[in-house]
Structure 1
Amino acid sequence: MWKPDRKSNQPLYQQIADDLEQRISYGEFPPGSLLPSERKLADQLGVNRSTVVLAYAELRSLGIIESRSGSGTRVSRTKWGATPKHTPNWHRYAEGGNFLPNLPFLRRIRVALEQDPSIIDFASGELAGDLAPIDEINAIMNEKQNTSYWGYDNPQGYMPLRQALVSFLKEYRGIHTTESSILITSGSQQSLYLITQCLLSPGDAVAIEDPSYSYSLPMFQSAGLRLFRLPVDERGVQPEDIRSLFKKHKIKMMFINPNFQNPTGTLLAEERRKKLLDVASELGLPIVEDDPFSLTAYKGTPPSPLKSSDAIGSVLYIGSFSKIAASGLRVGWMVAPHSVVERLADARQQMDFGLSVVPQKVAATFLESPFFDPHMDRLRSTLLYKRDLIIEVIQKEMPDLVEYHIPDGGLHLWCKIVPEVNDTKLLDAAIQRGVIFVPGSVYGSDSSYVRLTFARARTEDIHTGISRFAEALRSTLEIEN
């Protein structure tokens, strides 16, 4: 975001006025559109409100903006020539369409992170820079790449990457597949989007875990799907609940994250896995298995995916590099029957003509390189250290206020606030103190739950961040009581 230059000889208010005038002339704020309030713009730019008041006064004097009591400050409709011109009502367009915006809490978190890069981040579900194989990927990218053609690639994905994934999935996940049954995507969310748009229809009923990461994705509602919940306990979902939902609502598909589930970190019990596959087989019900965290298992052998025991092809298996390497690569995959892969590849080609071949080449080389296993060992040990550290600080700072499930893998700690708390007030109090998290209501839980992600925050910031969270929690509870 642009900020005024405090070293410039030009007054701050004049810099702000000039910037706004330019953005208005470029069409970023069309005639009639609402401008940020004086207080909000001052917060965004890091200046006093009085400075923004002067900037708005300057623009009003030029006839560029106009203010009305109760209606805020808007770009003038009459400044733009003698003949009245009608600008499209972009606000109405922006609020229209079928694709819903992110949940308000997620937009609030994104804005807070953009405005204050120093905030301690327990919200973002991605790896910190020191956990990603940056040096290894740079070494791969610096190697001479003999590429004779840079045109559109196969919409199903770069063939050498699909071939590398065949070996990778067999060795690390016990999944036997072929390159023709693999679709390369830009990550798990694109895989889910393609499934909801191409394999389901508006009005279809689907089952998701409760709580669930899927609940935080408006793409399900945008597709017109009816969501029904499968409660998650300390051993995962109950397979018989699926049978019940099928009888009641004729669900057409279920979405499951069985290994180190997001957000709870739970592991689907072994006996429930077999029963789940049996129920799905009996009902002819597809399972979408999202498996981003299995390889982060801190100790021992990573838990097997459902797909490795799928003898009849009930499971669509989704994975990505985001949680085990680098989210910026934007490389994920789906294992599915060839007819499904062809359908989704055709749809994806209509969207973007296929992914860039560059990150796919990097991913393929990384999977087959001697870098991969040492990276995973380092990742697991660091995540375990961070998990233990965040639990240690919680026990020290607020032992009577927070309960949690200790995960054996993944990036998150799912916490229950023992006294009920208003999550909106708690999030605001935390942001004011320079720390951020995701309220449990984002995932369909009540306001007593929060998700603290320990993979993103720097190790040296975890103690300070939890101390600030504890202070925000106590402050919120005092106000409410």
Structure 2
Amino acid sequence: MTLGYPEPKGSFDLREMISIYLKAKGIIASPSSIMVVSGGIQALQFISLGLLQRGSAIFHEIPSYLQSLHVFQSAGMNLFGIRMDHDGIVTEGIGKLKRQHNGALLYTIPNFHNPTGILMKETRRKALLAACINERLPVIEDDVYGDLWFDEKPPAPLKAKDDQGLVLYIGSMSKTLGPGLRIGWIAGPEPVINRLADIKMQTDYGSSALSQYAAAECLSSGFYSQYIEDIRTALKNRRDFTIGLLNRYFKGIATWDTPAGGFYIWLKLKKTLSMQKLFKLALREKILLNPGNIYDRNGHSHLRLSYSYASFPQLEKGLARLADIIQCMD
């Protein structure tokens, strides 16, 4: 390992390890068609800077993580939401929407969606890819939660079925090994990756050489695979504990689905109330909420709950107090 400037696409050793890792998911991507980035958000920034024109139309699930990020808005893009159901993004109407707005690309989180926790079903993935191929609509597949399944592996990524070069696949270790590592990647057609690598070198001269070396060692040694198994077990226990708390404190005031992986539970309150008022009342009790209107301007009856970080006593204390606050509100 050297501490000079890395290659534009990132350390070859790391890209080689990522290529092997992706092959286990059904994705065939050579090291030359992979670029290392400093997390998933940077990947989106480079795509907006390097591949899109100002005013481009971006399609995304509604609710969506993009609504809270403002990456594309700050680059002058226009966002258009497509509704979801329990199987994932609804594909009917994508063609009409693309023609109406001259859509530039579609952004999706198929695995354990942020904020809803939805896992896109296999049939829906096939329908989505078919619709995008038919319309020649490029796709950003954000799979940063894909390794965090509990009982059963998710269906194969969209990229695994992509024989048209339409899908840009984003992965990251930020949600698994830890956000401080700042290592992610984009896999896609080599000419596109070359263009993004040029943008990256103009922006930050490459991701941390030390972080890339550590990530390559984690993948090549087998540590990452074992660590992920441990993380899945811990997260599943946290999910089960949180679902138990919801059954105890929220059964009469909200509904929810049990996620099959990831970090989030999408809570729907049964009564209409002011999210702004709820946010302020909760904050007084040192409870920081993620209200649904962060992810969907019409999401006034939802809260995104995360069971990934707080201790069990903190989760119980916070959710019990939050339930009391909601029940006392007019």
- TM-score where L is the length of structure 1: 0.67
Runs of 4+ in 1 over 4 A off after TM superposition: none
Equivalent residue for 2:88? Answer: 236
Q: Against the structure 1 CA distance between its residues 302 and 268, is the aligned structure 2 distance closer, same or farther, given a 3 Å change threshold?
A: closer
Q: What is the CA-CA distance between 1:348 and the residue it aligns to?
A: 1.0
CA RMSD of aligned residues (A): 1.2
Alignment of 1:4-403 (within 5 A): 147=1, 149-171=2-24, 173-403=25-255
The amino acid of 2:308's aligned partner reads A
Q: What is the CA-CA distance between 1:415 and the residue it aligns to?
A: 0.5
Distance 1:317 1:253 in 2: 13
Distance 1:278 1:397 in 2: 43
Distance 1:155 1:227 in 2: 30
Equivalent residue for 2:313? Answer: 460
Distance 1:371 1:206 in 2: 37
Q: What is the CA-CA distance between 1:301 and the residue it aligns to?
A: 2.3
Q: What is the CA-CA distance between 1:341 and the residue it aligns to?
A: 0.9
Distance 2:142 2:63 in 1: 15
Q: Matched residue of 1:282: which SS?
A: helix
The amino acid of 2:137's aligned partner reads L
Partner deviation per Cα, 1:148-186 (whole Å, 9 max, x = no partner): x32111121111100110111112x21111000001000
Equivalent residue for 1:407? Answer: 259
Distance 1:393 1:276 in 2: 35
> Could you say which structure has the greater relative contact order, defined with CA pairs below 8 angstroms and 6 or more residues apart?
2
- Contact conserved, 2:122 with 2:155, CA < 8 A, in 1? no
Distance 2:237 2:204 in 1: 40
- Contact conserved, 1:254 with 1:286, CA < 8 A, in 2? yes
Q: What is the CA-CA distance between 1:190 and the residue it aligns to?
A: 0.4
Distance 1:353 1:377 in 2: 34
- Contact conserved, 1:294 with 1:303, CA < 8 A, in 2? no
Equivalent residue for 2:322? Answer: 469
Q: Matched residue of 2:92: which SS?
A: helix
Q: What is the CA-CA distance between 1:228 and the residue it aligns to?
A: 0.9
Structure 1: runs of 5 or more not aligned: 1-146
Distance 1:303 1:409 in 2: 13
Distance 2:135 2:309 in 1: 40
Percentage identity across aligned positions? 36
- Contact conserved, 1:320 with 1:333, CA < 8 A, in 2? yes
The amino acid of 1:463's aligned partner reads E
The amino acid of 1:319's aligned partner reads G
Distance 2:88 2:10 in 1: 33
The amino acid of 2:274's aligned partner reads N
* Residue 293 (structure 2) aligned to one of 425, 433, 441: 441
Q: What is the CA-CA distance between 1:471 and the residue it aligns to?
A: 2.4
Equivalent residue for 1:423? Answer: 275
- Contact conserved, 2:172 with 2:185, CA < 8 A, in 1? yes
Distance 1:469 1:460 in 2: 14
Residue-pair matches, total? 329
Q: What is the CA-CA distance between 1:436 and the residue it aligns to?
A: 1.5
The amino acid of 1:369's aligned partner reads S
Distance 2:88 2:125 in 1: 9
Distance 1:243 1:267 in 2: 23
Q: What is the CA-CA distance between 1:367 and the residue it aligns to?
A: 1.0
Distance 1:258 1:309 in 2: 14
The amino acid of 1:432's aligned partner reads R
The amino acid of 2:272's aligned partner reads E
The amino acid of 1:428's aligned partner reads K
Q: What is the CA-CA distance between 1:243 and the residue it aligns to?
A: 1.2
